[in-house]
Structure 1
Amino acid sequence: MSNIKPHSPFWELLPLKGLGPIRFLTDKSALETYRDELGSITAEESVNLEQQQQLLHDTVNQFSEFFSQEDLNNVLEAMQVIGDSRDDVSKVYMDAGISLEYKANQLVEVFADDRAKGLHFQGMPLFASDPKELVIYISKQLNEIPCIKDEEIAFPEHNLFLFSFLIEQPGGAYKEGKKKGRTVSWWNSARPYGEDLSGYHLLDISFN
């Protein structure tokens, strides 16, 4: 894998668009083009409704004394309701700290952890900047006030989510999160799973 240059156009986080030249809805086959930047594939997984249902049946059969047929039917019904949104989904993990989620082989999400040292937003490094300054900068550039719950900061209008940069405290205060384990994810549309954002509130932070 080649060295990552700071503020490289390839490593720019582009909300609603993708990662540098890798744009949302790009076909999965295009990954080979960016092997020098992203490194090798470390893991790959696929999910579809039939596999999820079979796994559930196997689990129920193995622990039949704990589950009734009614329990199974209720879960299967719920899986059917959300199945369309999570069917035909695959995720590719790269050794540069990036994972890419595809639906029907089209890119729908980019996820990065703190190994992606070159990742930046309009020239500001994601994992090497002061988290408060980073959030303020992103907010100003996107013209969106973020919301927060526990350790997750969300820019819902731009489907952008930062984890462990700031941690919510009682009384509306916050503190800096742990540097190890920080992640960021962004989607081409509203994320199909995750916590309901109605439980979040506007981040009480100075934007002056």
Structure 2
Amino acid sequence: MTTPPPGVRIIPIHGNTPQIHDSAFVAPGCVLVGDVTIGADSSIWYNCVLRADVSRIVIGERSNVQDGSVLHCDPERPGDPDGSPLLIGDDVLIGHMAMVHGCVIEDRGFVGLGAIAMNKAVIGSDAMLAAGAMLTEGKTMAPGSLWAGRPAKPLKDLSDAAIAGMRMGVAHYVENGRAHKAAVKATGN
């Protein structure tokens, strides 16, 4: 997408400009800075900040970042030549007011409301970081697991019903993103 969606602040920096797939929805009030890539049918909801000024943020397809969330990354450092980019897979759900920083969220991962995921942490496929939890630096959640607390610790494996519920949430946000995109376009906001 070459022109920013209405009401979205796009800030190029260090030669990098956010790249938004044409089918994605980015809500008014969002700020996208630098090396941000947003995949097909993904949605970034109202008043989110995605700041990729020192590394990159990559969001796959059909993923959503819900209202008020903050996403950032860390640059390379002595002893850490790769730094901590933020890499988000396909079909990921990130709840309202989450803080996601320099970690990896594998396909179908889930970050609950107000949760924090720190540098070099990994949220495995079909895993859920509970609402309000804090996944500390370098921790890895096994696929299909539920972690909770501050600091987060493993609680249990998710049931098939819980995993199916997360997939329904992804489908809901794809459709809702399309509806909001049309509504924003219709109002010119």
Q: TM-score, normalised on structure 1?
A: 0.24
Flag the structure with more relative contact order, 1 or 2, with Cα contacts below 8 A and sequence separation at least 6: 1
Which has the larger helix fraction?
A: 1
Q: TM-score, normalised on structure 2?
A: 0.25
Which has the larger strand fraction?
A: 2
